[in-house]
C-alpha cells in the first residue's frame, strides 16, 4: 500500500470514528462476529439489547438468562469506552466459588 492510500484510509477512518456516537453504532462498525451470527455486530437477533447499548444512566441493571446477548453488550461497552471515550476499563468476572450454585 502506498503512502497516499494509507493516508487517505487513515483520514477516512478518523472521520468515520467521529460518527460512532454510541456503543451500538460503534459495535456495528467495529465488531465482526463469528459463529451463529457471523458478520458485523447487530442487535437484529437480540433487539432487547439496543437500550442497554445506548443507555446514559450512571448505573444499569439487567436480569439476565443464558444466551440473551448481555455479555456481548458488556464487551461492546468495554471496547467502545476504550476506543471512543479513551477511558480505562476493568472487566471482572466472579470467582468459581461465587459463580456456582
Highest mean pLDDT among 7-21, 69-83, 86-100: 69-83
Contacts of 64 (CB under 8 A, 6+ apart): 70
Average pLDDT rounded to a whole number, residues 67-79: 92
Looking at per-residue pLDDT, the higher value among 91 and 12 belongs to 91
Does residue 9 fall inside a structural domain? no
Does the global pTM surpass 0.85? no
Does residue 10 fall inside a structural domain? no
Label residues 75-92 b or e (16+ Cβ within 10 Å = b). Answer: ebbebbeeebeeeeeeee
Q: Positive or negative, the Cα torsion across 79, 67, 47, 12?
A: positive
Q: By residue range, what is the domain housing residue 74?
A: 22-99
Report the domain count for the chain. 1
pLDDT tens digits, 8-66: 887 877 767 777 889 999 999 999 999 888 999 999 989 999 999 999 899 988 888 88
Check residue 100 and give its pLDDT.
75
**Can you state the angle between helices 70-83 and 23-30, rounded to 10 degrees?**
90
Does residue 51 fall inside a structural domain? yes
Does residue 42 fall inside a structural domain? yes
Amino acid at each position: 500500500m502506498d503512502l497516499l492510500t494509507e493516508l487517505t484510509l487513515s483520514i477516512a477512518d478518523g472521520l468515520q470514528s467521529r460518527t460512532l456516537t454510541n456503543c451500538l453504532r460503534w459495535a456495528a462498525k467495529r465488531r465482526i462476529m463469528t459463529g451463529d451470527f457471523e458478520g458485523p455486530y447487530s442487535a437484529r437477533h437480540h433487539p432487547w439489547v439496543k437500550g442497554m447499548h445506548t443507555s446514559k444512566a450512571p448505573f444499569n441493571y439487567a436480569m439476565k438468562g443464558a444466551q440473551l446477548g448481555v455479555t456481548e453488550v458488556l464487551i461492546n461497552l468495554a471496547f467502545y469506552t476504550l476506543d471512543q471515550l479513551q477511558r480505562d476499563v476493568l472487566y471482572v468476572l466472579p470467582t468459581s466459588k461465587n459463580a456456582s450454585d
